[in-house]
Structure 1
Amino acid sequence: MSAATAKKRRSNWPVWLRRGLLENIATAIIGTGFLMLFQPFALTLYTWSFVTMLFGTAMFIVVSKFPE
């Protein structure tokens, strides 16, 4: 496939719905959940850490199907 053909196949998706940005956000959410799990100060953060990591993981799986 040539470069000209690759430009023609560009998606009509908005820039904010592209894979790169949303994968980075999902990774940050997973990292936040990980930090919430291993902090020793607030029980509420510990309680919500699994849900946060689960949401980030599900988001990453869905977003990885988006176009670049």
Structure 2
Amino acid sequence: MTFLASFASGLLRLRRGPWEMLATFLIALGVVMLMQPFFLWAYTWSFLVTLVGTVMFIIVSHFPE
């Protein structure tokens, strides 16, 4: 099974690993959006993206392995 297929399967079965990876990606994306100096829209949405990733990480940390 390829990585993408196993990742999608984990998301659909509500497993912790893939959802934590997605939440971590959102947190990192929000931080990058916050620190970049080029696009005002990215800076404007950075707090919301970081917040969604953080709340998602807290929720999915209770999912089964």
User: TM class by shorter-chain length?
Assistant: 0.7 to 0.9
Matched, 1:64 2:61: yes
Q: C-alpha root-mean-square deviation of aligned residues, in Å?
A: 1.1
Q: 1:15 Cα shift?
A: 3.2
The C-alpha deviation readout for 1:14-61, integer Å capped at 9, x for no partner, is: 732100010000000000000000000000100000000000000000
Q: 1:62 Cα shift?
A: 0.3
Greater gyration radius: 1
Gaps of at least 5 residues in structure 1 are 1-13
- Aligned equivalents of 1:45, 1:29: Cα separation in 2: 13
Aligned pair count reads 55
Gaps of at least 5 residues in structure 2 are 1-8
Aligned partner of 2:44: which letter? T
TM-score of the aligned structures, taking structure 1 as reference length:
0.77
- SS of the aligned residue for 1:65 comes to coil
Aligned to 1:21: 18
Matched, 1:48 2:42: no
- Aligned equivalents of 1:24, 1:15: Cα separation in 2: 11
- SS of the aligned residue for 1:22 comes to helix
